[in-house]
């Protein structure tokens, strides 16, 4: 019998502006993805002020994408996404691909595609935030044993990022380059995912960035603080035998039912929870609150 767990998620994003904003155009990635391990049974997004135009579609990566436009003058913007998700409970394991990472004859080619028709070129070629870096070679060298199973290698790289890098909130921002991360060895989940992406693409393993939520539990006897959760990031690597497999370098675990997936892309900038442009003056102050609780 399949065991499942239900999660209720509330994600608040609020902007306060020091001046008047006359036009705001935004794209949001807030709808949990439908895949084999989870299903979304409820989802809604409330925007204040009320948008003059709003539409939802699936993007190129098959992620739920909301576009909205606020045309009137306003000094604040609030977006509240609420979702109810059912996750299947399964034991996380590292599967074997049956293919050595250095077996050129078995490597996935740029023009090949996965089961959903997405070309591996998307997940093998560099991006602005995950460039091709010679500096990653020194980090990779101790793990590149000839003939090693590709998924076993991916798992070790995940563990090494977890043990060799320090989790330091505030040490980086979304523009911090990977080469700086390699030098300073500190960052947050988004940074660790980018380092892992640069490493795996360097050796020809398709890998994609994953955005979502992670259930966090307070110590026994301690009440959970409202709004204390956060968005989370990890990666998925591919082989023909396994399909896409998740790896969470921040926590050194294979994602399971406590990882709730929003979507995937080439890097963070394909999956920003909320991004856009506005016409107006002044500065902005951002507040984000996330709650992930069992139903």
Q: Which domain holds residue 79?
A: 4-88+272-294
Q: What is the mean pLDDT of the chain?
A: 92
Name residues whose C-beta falls within 8 Å of residue 138's C-beta, 6 or more positions apart in sequence.
Answer: none
Q: What is the pLDDT of residue 218?
A: 72
State whether 150 and 30 are in the same domain: no
Distance CA 53, CA 71 (A): 9
**Contact present, 26 and 68 (Cβ < 8 Å):** yes
pLDDT confidence of 6, banded at 50, 70, 90? very high
Q: How many angstroms separate the Cα of 195 from the Cα of each of 66, 103, 231?
A: 28, 23, 18
Give the max Cα distance, the chain.
Answer: 62
Taking residue 279's Cβ as centre, other Cβ atoms within 10 Å add up to 11
Q: What is the pLDDT of residues 90-131, one digit of tens each?
A: 888 889 999 999 996 678 888 999 998 999 999 999 999 999
Is there a domain that residue 149 lies in?
yes
Q: What is the pLDDT of residues 245-276, one digit of tens each?
A: 999 999 999 999 999 999 999 999 999 999 99
Which CATH number do you get for residue 266?
Answer: 3.10.620.30
In the block, residue with structure tokens 């409202």: 226
Is there a domain that residue 182 lies in?
yes
The structure's pTM equals 0.94
Q: What is the pLDDT of residues 22-64, one digit of tens each?
A: 999 999 999 999 888 899 999 999 999 999 999 999 999 999 9
Above 60 in pLDDT, residue 228?
no
Count of domains forming the chain: 2
Higher pLDDT, 128 or 218: 128
Q: How many angstroms separate the Cα of 13 from the Cα of each of 30, 42, 139, 143?
A: 11, 19, 36, 40
Category of 147 on φ-ψ map: left (φ > 0), alpha (ψ -120 to 50) or beta? left
State whether 231 and 283 are in the same domain: no
Which CATH number do you get for residue 53?
Answer: 2.60.40.2250
Question: In this structure, what token pair is assigned to residue 68?
Answer: 């909205």
**Contact present, 237 and 245 (Cβ < 8 Å):** yes
């Amino acid at each position: 019998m399949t065991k499942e767990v239900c999660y209720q998620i509330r994600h608040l994003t609020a902007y306060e502006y020091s001046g008047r904003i006359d036009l705001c155009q935004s794209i949001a990635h807030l709808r949990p993805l439908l895949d084999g391990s989870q299903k979304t049974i409820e989802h809604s997004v409330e925007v204040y002020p009320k948008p003059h135009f709003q539409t939802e579609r699936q993007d190129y990566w098959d992620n739920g994408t909301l576009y909205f436009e606020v045309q009137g003058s306003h000094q604040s913007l609030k977006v509240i996404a609420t979702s109810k998700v059912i996750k299947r409970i399964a034991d996380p394991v590292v599967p074997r691909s049956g293919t050595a990472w250095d077996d050129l004859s078995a490597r996935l080619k740029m023009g090949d595609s996965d089961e959903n028709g997405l070309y591996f070129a998307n997940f093998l070629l560099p991006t602005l935030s995950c460039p091709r870096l010679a500096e990653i070679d020194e980090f990779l060298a101790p793990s590149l044993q000839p003939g090693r199973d590709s998924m076993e290698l991916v798992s070790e790289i995940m563990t090494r990022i977890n043990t060799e890098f320090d989790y330091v909130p505030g040490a980086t921002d979304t523009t911090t380059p990977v080469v700086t991360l390699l030098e300073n060895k500190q960052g947050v989940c988004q940074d660790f995912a980018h380092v892992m992406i640069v490493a795996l693409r360097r050796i020809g393993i398709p890998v994609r960035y994953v955005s979502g939520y992670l259930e966090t539990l307070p110590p026994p006897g301690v009440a959970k603080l409202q709004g204390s959760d956060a968005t989370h990031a990890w990666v998925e690597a591919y082989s023909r035998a396994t399909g896409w497999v998740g790896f969470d370098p921040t926590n050194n675990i294979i994602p399971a039912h406590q990882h709730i997936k929003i979507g995937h892309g080439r890097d963070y900038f394909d999956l920003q929870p909320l991004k856009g442009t506005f016409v107006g003056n002044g500065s902005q102050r951002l507040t984000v609150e996330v709650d992930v609780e069992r139903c």
